[in-house]
Amino acid sequence: MQLGLIGLGKMGGNMRERLRRAGHEVVGFDHNPDVADVGTLEDLVKALQAPRVVWVMVPAGEPTRETVRALRDLLEPGDLVIDGGNSRFTDDFENAKLLGEKQIGYVDCGVSGGIWGLENGYGLMCGGDKKWVERAMPIFDALRPEGPREEGFVHAGEVGAGHYTKMVHNGIEYGLMAAYAEGYELLERKDIVKDVPGAFKAWSRGTVVRSWLLDLMVKALEENAHLDDVSDYTNDSGEGRWTVEEAIELGVPMPVISASLFARFASRQQCSPTMQAVAALRGQFGGHQVMTIAEGEELRRKTGAEGSAHPAPAAGKEKASTPDQPSQASVDAASAGPSSGTGSTGGGAPGGGPTSGTDATSS
Half-sphere exposure at residue 325, Cβ-oriented, CA atoms within 13 angstroms: 3
Name the amino acid, one letter, at 12: G
Name the amino acid, one letter, at 79: D
Q: Name which of 169, 175, 180, 184 is nearest 125 in CA terms.
A: 169
Which residue in 166, 188, 239, 317 is the catalytic one?
166
How far, in Å, CA of 107 to CA of 182, rounded? 38
Using an 8 Å Cβ cutoff, are 216 and 199 in contact? no
Centroid of chain to Cα 44: 33
Centroid of chain to Cα 40: 33
Q: Name which of 94, 93, 88, 83 is nearest 126 in CA terms.
A: 83
- φ, ψ of residue 214 in degrees (nearest 5): -65, -40
3-state helix, strand, coil in the chain (%, to 5): 50, 10, 40
Distances (CA, A) of 259 to 167, 307, 361: 16, 17, 20
Coil, helix or strand at residue 294: helix
Cβ-proximal residues to 354 (8 Å cutoff; 6+ apart), any chain: 339, 341, 348, 360
Active-site residue flag, 166: yes
How far, in Å, CA of 179 to CA of 358, rounded? 24
How far, in Å, CA of 153 to CA of 122, rounded? 9
Coil, helix or strand at residue 166: helix
Question: What DSSP character marks residue 125?
Answer: E
Using an 8 Å Cβ cutoff, are 44 and 2 in contact? no
Which residue in 173, 185, 246, 318 is the catalytic one?
173
How far, in Å, CA of 316 to CA of 189, rounded? 10
Handedness of CA 127, 128, 133, 136 (dihedral sign): negative
- Looking at the annotation, which residues are catalytic? 166, 173
